[in-house]
Amino acid sequence: MGPLFLFLFLMQHIPQADLNDFLSNDPKRKAAFVKHIGASFQEIGFLALKGHFLEKELQETLYHEIKGFFALPKSTKEGYETHGGGGQRGYTGFGKEHAAGRTTGDLKEFWHFGQDLEAHPDLKEIYPENIQVKELENFNKVGNLVYKKLEKTAEVLLQAIALYLGLDEFYFDHFIREGNSILRAIHYPPISQAPQDAERAAAHGDINLITLLMGSQGGGLQVLNRKEEWIDAVAAPDELMINIGDMLSRLTNNHLPSTIHRVVNPPKEEWGNARYSLPFFMHPIPQMPLDCLPQMINDVHPKKYEDITAGAFLRQRLVALGLL
Protein backbone atom coordinates (compact mmCIF):
# COMPACT_ATOMS: atom_id res chain seq x y z
CA MET A 1 0.00 0.00 0.00
CA GLY A 2 1.66 3.23 -1.17
CA PRO A 3 1.70 6.46 0.86
CA LEU A 4 -0.79 8.23 -1.45
CA PHE A 5 -3.26 5.32 -1.36
CA LEU A 6 -2.94 5.14 2.44
CA PHE A 7 -3.58 8.89 2.73
CA LEU A 8 -6.69 8.71 0.53
CA PHE A 9 -7.95 5.65 2.43
CA LEU A 10 -7.54 7.42 5.78
CA MET A 11 -9.43 10.42 4.43
CA GLN A 12 -12.56 8.28 3.89
CA HIS A 13 -12.34 5.69 6.67
CA ILE A 14 -11.89 5.73 10.42
CA PRO A 15 -8.66 3.78 11.13
CA GLN A 16 -8.77 0.86 13.56
CA ALA A 17 -6.33 -0.31 16.22
CA ASP A 18 -6.13 -2.87 19.04
CA LEU A 19 -4.78 -1.71 22.40
CA ASN A 20 -3.52 -5.25 23.05
CA ASP A 21 -0.76 -4.56 20.52
CA PHE A 22 0.57 -1.76 22.71
CA LEU A 23 0.22 -3.83 25.88
CA SER A 24 1.99 -6.84 24.41
CA ASN A 25 5.56 -7.80 25.29
CA ASP A 26 6.50 -7.63 21.62
CA PRO A 27 8.47 -4.41 20.97
CA LYS A 28 7.65 -4.55 17.25
CA ARG A 29 3.89 -4.76 17.87
CA LYS A 30 4.12 -1.93 20.36
CA ALA A 31 6.15 0.28 18.01
CA ALA A 32 3.79 -0.47 15.10
CA PHE A 33 0.80 0.51 17.26
CA VAL A 34 2.44 3.81 18.22
CA LYS A 35 3.25 4.63 14.60
CA HIS A 36 -0.23 3.68 13.37
CA ILE A 37 -2.23 5.62 15.92
CA GLY A 38 0.03 8.66 15.55
CA ALA A 39 -0.46 8.72 11.78
CA SER A 40 -4.21 8.17 12.22
CA PHE A 41 -4.56 11.07 14.65
CA GLN A 42 -2.46 13.31 12.41
CA GLU A 43 -4.36 12.49 9.22
CA ILE A 44 -7.94 12.39 10.50
CA GLY A 45 -7.93 12.77 14.29
CA PHE A 46 -10.20 9.76 14.95
CA LEU A 47 -9.51 6.11 15.73
CA ALA A 48 -11.71 3.05 16.38
CA LEU A 49 -10.10 1.18 19.28
CA LYS A 50 -10.48 -2.47 20.26
CA GLY A 51 -8.87 -4.12 23.28
CA HIS A 52 -9.92 -1.43 25.76
CA PHE A 53 -10.74 -2.10 29.41
CA LEU A 54 -14.53 -1.60 29.27
CA GLU A 55 -16.40 -4.91 29.32
CA LYS A 56 -19.50 -5.34 27.16
CA GLU A 57 -21.69 -6.25 30.14
CA LEU A 58 -20.73 -3.12 32.08
CA GLN A 59 -21.36 -0.96 29.04
CA GLU A 60 -24.83 -2.47 28.60
CA THR A 61 -25.59 -1.97 32.30
CA LEU A 62 -24.76 1.72 32.06
CA TYR A 63 -27.00 2.11 29.03
CA HIS A 64 -29.82 0.58 31.05
CA GLU A 65 -29.19 3.02 33.90
CA ILE A 66 -29.01 6.17 31.78
CA LYS A 67 -32.14 5.24 29.84
CA GLY A 68 -33.86 4.91 33.21
CA PHE A 69 -32.63 8.34 34.27
CA PHE A 70 -33.69 10.17 31.10
CA ALA A 71 -37.10 8.50 31.32
CA LEU A 72 -37.72 10.22 34.68
CA PRO A 73 -40.18 13.15 34.75
CA LYS A 74 -38.71 16.46 33.59
CA SER A 75 -39.26 18.00 37.02
CA THR A 76 -37.27 15.19 38.67
CA LYS A 77 -34.35 15.58 36.27
CA GLU A 78 -34.33 19.36 36.72
CA GLY A 79 -33.93 18.79 40.44
CA TYR A 80 -30.42 17.49 39.65
CA GLU A 81 -29.43 20.57 37.65
CA THR A 82 -26.82 22.82 39.25
CA HIS A 83 -26.42 26.52 38.59
CA GLY A 84 -23.21 28.49 38.24
CA GLY A 85 -20.95 25.44 37.90
CA GLY A 86 -20.80 25.25 34.13
CA GLY A 87 -22.82 22.05 34.06
CA GLN A 88 -19.77 20.09 35.22
CA ARG A 89 -21.81 17.71 37.37
CA GLY A 90 -25.33 16.37 37.29
CA TYR A 91 -28.02 17.19 34.75
CA THR A 92 -28.08 19.78 31.95
CA GLY A 93 -31.45 20.32 30.31
CA PHE A 94 -32.46 20.01 26.68
CA GLY A 95 -31.08 22.67 24.33
CA LYS A 96 -28.94 24.48 26.92
CA GLU A 97 -25.53 23.73 25.39
CA HIS A 98 -24.54 25.08 22.00
CA ALA A 99 -21.39 24.82 19.91
CA ALA A 100 -18.84 27.63 20.20
CA GLY A 101 -19.76 30.47 17.87
CA ARG A 102 -23.45 29.51 17.78
CA THR A 103 -26.44 30.52 19.85
CA THR A 104 -28.85 27.76 18.77
CA GLY A 105 -28.92 25.01 21.39
CA ASP A 106 -28.17 21.40 20.52
CA LEU A 107 -31.04 18.88 20.50
CA LYS A 108 -29.84 17.00 23.57
CA GLU A 109 -29.89 16.71 27.34
CA PHE A 110 -27.09 15.14 29.35
CA TRP A 111 -25.67 14.00 32.67
CA HIS A 112 -22.10 14.40 33.94
CA PHE A 113 -20.20 11.96 36.17
CA GLY A 114 -16.95 13.40 37.50
CA GLN A 115 -13.84 12.43 39.42
CA ASP A 116 -14.08 11.00 42.93
CA LEU A 117 -10.89 12.31 44.52
CA GLU A 118 -8.59 10.15 46.63
CA ALA A 119 -4.98 11.10 45.85
CA HIS A 120 -5.57 14.85 45.42
CA PRO A 121 -7.75 16.06 48.30
CA ASP A 122 -6.47 19.59 47.55
CA LEU A 123 -8.53 19.54 44.37
CA LYS A 124 -11.79 19.17 46.29
CA GLU A 125 -12.01 22.96 46.38
CA ILE A 126 -11.84 23.00 42.55
CA TYR A 127 -13.81 19.96 41.45
CA PRO A 128 -17.56 19.92 42.10
CA GLU A 129 -18.82 16.86 43.97
CA ASN A 130 -20.70 14.17 42.12
CA ILE A 131 -24.47 14.31 42.45
CA GLN A 132 -26.27 11.19 43.65
CA VAL A 133 -29.48 10.10 41.92
CA LYS A 134 -31.93 8.89 44.57
CA GLU A 135 -34.42 7.29 42.19
CA LEU A 136 -31.94 4.79 40.69
CA GLU A 137 -30.02 2.66 43.18
CA ASN A 138 -27.17 1.62 40.85
CA PHE A 139 -26.92 4.71 38.63
CA ASN A 140 -23.93 6.35 40.31
CA LYS A 141 -22.13 3.11 41.14
CA VAL A 142 -22.26 1.88 37.55
CA GLY A 143 -21.30 5.31 36.18
CA ASN A 144 -18.26 5.42 38.46
CA LEU A 145 -17.15 1.93 37.38
CA VAL A 146 -17.36 2.86 33.70
CA TYR A 147 -15.54 6.12 34.45
CA LYS A 148 -12.56 4.23 35.94
CA LYS A 149 -12.40 1.74 33.05
CA LEU A 150 -12.34 4.52 30.47
CA GLU A 151 -9.88 6.56 32.49
CA LYS A 152 -7.46 3.59 32.52
CA THR A 153 -7.90 3.10 28.77
CA ALA A 154 -7.17 6.79 28.18
CA GLU A 155 -4.08 6.63 30.40
CA VAL A 156 -2.57 3.79 28.35
CA LEU A 157 -3.49 5.46 25.05
CA LEU A 158 -1.81 8.68 26.16
CA GLN A 159 1.34 6.67 26.91
CA ALA A 160 1.35 5.56 23.27
CA ILE A 161 0.72 9.14 22.11
CA ALA A 162 3.60 10.35 24.29
CA LEU A 163 5.97 7.93 22.56
CA TYR A 164 4.73 9.05 19.15
CA LEU A 165 5.53 12.64 20.12
CA GLY A 166 9.03 11.68 21.21
CA LEU A 167 8.23 12.20 24.89
CA ASP A 168 8.81 9.90 27.82
CA GLU A 169 6.18 7.15 27.75
CA PHE A 170 4.77 8.27 31.09
CA TYR A 171 4.86 12.02 30.38
CA PHE A 172 1.10 12.44 30.84
CA ASP A 173 0.69 10.17 33.88
CA HIS A 174 1.40 12.86 36.48
CA PHE A 175 -0.91 15.35 34.79
CA ILE A 176 -3.87 13.01 34.34
CA ARG A 177 -3.82 11.29 37.73
CA GLU A 178 -7.26 12.23 39.09
CA GLY A 179 -7.64 14.77 36.31
CA ASN A 180 -10.83 16.75 35.86
CA SER A 181 -12.28 14.20 33.43
CA ILE A 182 -15.98 13.83 32.74
CA LEU A 183 -18.15 10.93 31.62
CA ARG A 184 -21.13 12.41 29.81
CA ALA A 185 -24.34 10.45 29.27
CA ILE A 186 -26.20 12.08 26.37
CA HIS A 187 -29.83 11.62 25.36
CA TYR A 188 -30.93 12.88 21.96
CA PRO A 189 -34.74 12.66 22.26
CA PRO A 190 -37.04 11.85 19.33
CA ILE A 191 -37.56 14.84 17.04
CA SER A 192 -41.20 15.95 17.05
CA GLN A 193 -41.04 18.87 14.61
CA ALA A 194 -38.69 20.19 11.96
CA PRO A 195 -35.64 21.70 13.74
CA GLN A 196 -34.98 25.36 13.01
CA ASP A 197 -31.22 25.54 12.41
CA ALA A 198 -30.61 23.03 15.21
CA GLU A 199 -28.69 19.76 15.14
CA ARG A 200 -28.33 17.00 17.69
CA ALA A 201 -24.77 18.25 18.15
CA ALA A 202 -23.50 21.04 15.92
CA ALA A 203 -19.97 20.92 14.52
CA HIS A 204 -17.38 21.34 17.26
CA GLY A 205 -14.02 20.29 18.62
CA ASP A 206 -13.71 18.81 22.10
CA ILE A 207 -12.04 20.79 24.88
CA ASN A 208 -9.96 18.05 26.48
CA LEU A 209 -6.85 15.95 25.70
CA ILE A 210 -8.61 12.94 24.15
CA THR A 211 -12.19 11.70 24.02
CA LEU A 212 -13.30 8.06 24.28
CA LEU A 213 -16.78 7.53 22.90
CA MET A 214 -19.22 4.73 23.63
CA GLY A 215 -22.40 4.61 21.62
CA SER A 216 -21.15 5.45 18.14
CA GLN A 217 -22.54 2.25 16.63
CA GLY A 218 -25.66 4.07 15.47
CA GLY A 219 -25.69 6.58 12.65
CA GLY A 220 -25.30 10.32 13.01
CA LEU A 221 -21.69 10.90 14.09
CA GLN A 222 -19.65 12.54 11.34
CA VAL A 223 -16.03 13.65 11.18
CA LEU A 224 -14.57 16.49 9.13
CA ASN A 225 -11.46 15.07 7.48
CA ARG A 226 -8.41 17.09 6.46
CA LYS A 227 -9.89 17.58 2.97
CA GLU A 228 -12.86 19.37 4.58
CA GLU A 229 -15.20 16.45 3.80
CA TRP A 230 -17.75 15.04 6.25
CA ILE A 231 -17.44 11.27 6.64
CA ASP A 232 -19.48 8.89 8.78
CA ALA A 233 -17.84 7.52 11.94
CA VAL A 234 -19.42 4.21 12.94
CA ALA A 235 -17.69 1.90 15.42
CA ALA A 236 -18.17 -1.84 15.86
CA PRO A 237 -19.89 -2.93 19.11
CA ASP A 238 -16.54 -3.80 20.72
CA GLU A 239 -14.83 -0.54 19.72
CA LEU A 240 -14.48 2.87 21.28
CA MET A 241 -14.20 5.87 19.02
CA ILE A 242 -11.19 8.01 20.02
CA ASN A 243 -10.50 11.59 19.00
CA ILE A 244 -8.01 14.34 19.73
CA GLY A 245 -9.22 17.34 21.73
CA ASP A 246 -8.20 20.99 21.73
CA MET A 247 -5.90 20.69 24.76
CA LEU A 248 -3.68 18.15 23.03
CA SER A 249 -3.71 20.27 19.87
CA ARG A 250 -2.43 23.23 21.85
CA LEU A 251 0.23 21.16 23.60
CA THR A 252 1.51 19.77 20.28
CA ASN A 253 1.30 23.12 18.44
CA ASN A 254 -1.37 21.55 16.23
CA HIS A 255 0.88 18.62 15.28
CA LEU A 256 -2.06 16.49 16.42
CA PRO A 257 -5.00 18.65 15.37
CA SER A 258 -8.31 18.53 17.16
CA THR A 259 -10.90 17.06 14.80
CA ILE A 260 -14.18 18.80 14.13
CA HIS A 261 -17.17 16.45 14.42
CA ARG A 262 -20.95 16.61 14.72
CA VAL A 263 -24.07 14.51 15.27
CA VAL A 264 -26.48 15.18 12.42
CA ASN A 265 -30.23 14.85 12.62
CA PRO A 266 -31.60 11.56 11.30
CA PRO A 267 -33.76 11.37 8.16
CA LYS A 268 -37.40 12.28 8.81
CA GLU A 269 -38.57 8.66 8.85
CA GLU A 270 -36.26 8.09 11.86
CA TRP A 271 -37.22 11.19 13.85
CA GLY A 272 -39.10 9.01 16.31
CA ASN A 273 -35.93 7.22 17.42
CA ALA A 274 -33.98 8.41 20.44
CA ARG A 275 -30.17 8.23 20.43
CA TYR A 276 -27.84 7.71 23.39
CA SER A 277 -24.14 8.40 23.52
CA LEU A 278 -21.47 8.13 26.23
CA PRO A 279 -18.30 10.18 25.64
CA PHE A 280 -15.51 10.22 28.23
CA PHE A 281 -13.64 13.54 28.11
CA MET A 282 -10.09 12.95 29.38
CA HIS A 283 -8.93 16.09 31.17
CA PRO A 284 -5.69 16.67 33.07
CA ILE A 285 -5.48 18.35 36.45
CA PRO A 286 -6.23 22.10 36.15
CA GLN A 287 -2.59 23.03 36.87
CA MET A 288 -1.21 21.30 33.76
CA PRO A 289 0.47 23.82 31.44
CA LEU A 290 -0.76 23.60 27.86
CA ASP A 291 2.25 25.55 26.57
CA CYS A 292 3.30 24.32 23.13
CA LEU A 293 6.04 21.73 23.44
CA PRO A 294 9.36 23.31 22.38
CA GLN A 295 10.17 20.43 20.02
CA MET A 296 6.94 21.14 18.13
CA ILE A 297 7.97 24.72 17.33
CA ASN A 298 10.29 25.63 14.44
CA ASP A 299 10.55 27.98 11.47
CA VAL A 300 8.09 25.91 9.46
CA HIS A 301 5.69 25.52 12.41
CA PRO A 302 5.80 28.73 14.48
CA LYS A 303 4.07 28.78 17.84
CA LYS A 304 0.30 28.96 17.29
CA TYR A 305 -1.07 29.32 20.83
CA GLU A 306 -0.40 31.46 23.87
CA ASP A 307 0.59 29.80 27.15
CA ILE A 308 -2.32 28.78 29.36
CA THR A 309 -3.19 26.21 32.01
CA ALA A 310 -5.76 23.47 31.48
CA GLY A 311 -8.02 24.98 34.15
CA ALA A 312 -8.02 28.45 32.59
CA PHE A 313 -8.60 27.03 29.12
CA LEU A 314 -11.53 24.93 30.34
CA ARG A 315 -13.16 27.99 31.84
CA GLN A 316 -12.76 29.93 28.59
CA ARG A 317 -14.44 27.15 26.64
CA LEU A 318 -17.34 26.71 29.07
CA VAL A 319 -18.13 30.38 28.61
CA ALA A 320 -18.03 29.95 24.82
CA LEU A 321 -20.43 26.99 25.06
CA GLY A 322 -22.97 28.99 27.04
CA LEU A 323 -22.52 26.90 30.20
CA LEU A 324 -20.88 29.69 32.23
Q: How much is the pLDDT for 245?
A: 95
Task: Tell me the Ramachandran region of residue 186: left when phi exceeds 0, alpha when psi lies from -120 to 50, beta otherwise.
Answer: beta
Q: How much is the pLDDT for 198?
A: 66
Q: What is the CATH number of the domain that holds 111?
A: 2.60.120.330
Do the strands 230-232 and 90-92 form a parallel or antiparallel pair, or are they unpaired? unpaired
Q: How much is the pLDDT for 83?
A: 81
Residue 199 CA to residue 290 CA, distance in Å, equals 31
Q: How much is the pLDDT for 110?
A: 93
Q: Is residue 261 part of a domain?
A: yes
Q: Is residue 8 part of a domain?
A: no
Q: Is residue 242 part of a domain?
A: yes
Over its length of 324 residues, how does the chain's per-residue pLDDT go in tens digits?
455 444 444 445 789 999 999 999 899 999 999 999 999 998 888 899 999 999 999 999 999 999 999 999 999 999 999 887 777 899 999 877 666 666 666 778 999 999 988 777 788 888 989 999 999 999 999 999 999 999 999 999 999 999 999 999 999 999 999 999 999 999 988 876 666 666 677 788 899 999 999 865 456 888 888 788 888 888 888 999 999 999 999 999 999 999 888 877 777 777 878 888 899 999 999 999 999 999 999 999 999 999 999 999 999 988 887 776
Q: How much is the pLDDT for 99?
A: 61
Residue 131 CA to residue 82 CA, distance in Å, equals 9
Q: How much is the pLDDT for 305?
A: 95
Q: Is residue 284 part of a domain?
A: yes
Q: Is residue 3 part of a domain?
A: no
Q: Is residue 289 part of a domain?
A: yes
Q: Which of 280, 282, 288 is nearest to 313 (CA)?
A: 288
Q: How much is the pLDDT for 7?
A: 44
Q: Which of 18, 100, 41, 50 is nearest to 225 (CA)?
A: 41
Helix axes 139-164, 56-70, angle to 10 degrees: 130
3-class secondary structure per residue, the chain: CCHHHHHHHHHHCCCEEEHHHHHCCCHHHHHHHHHHHHHHHHHCCEEEEECCCCCHHHHHHHHHHHHHHHCCCHHHHHCCCCCCCCCCCEEECCCCCCCCCCCCCCCCEEEEECCCCCCCHHHHHCCCCCCCCCCCCCHHHHHHHHHHHHHHHHHHHHHHHHHHCCCCCCCCHHHHCCCCCEEEEEEECCCCCCCCCCCCEEEECCCCCEEEEECCCCCCEEEECCCCCEEECCCCCCCEEEEECHHHHHHCCCCCCCCCEEECCCCHHHCCCCEEEEEEEECCCCCCECCCCHHHCCCCCCCCCCCCEHHHHHHHHHHHCCCC
Residue 59 CA to residue 39 CA, distance in Å, equals 29
- Residue 118, domain extent: 16-82+89-320
Q: Is residue 2 part of a domain?
A: no
Q: How much is the pLDDT for 215?
A: 66
Q: How much is the pLDDT for 30?
A: 97
Q: Is residue 5 part of a domain?
A: no
What's the domain count of the chain? 1
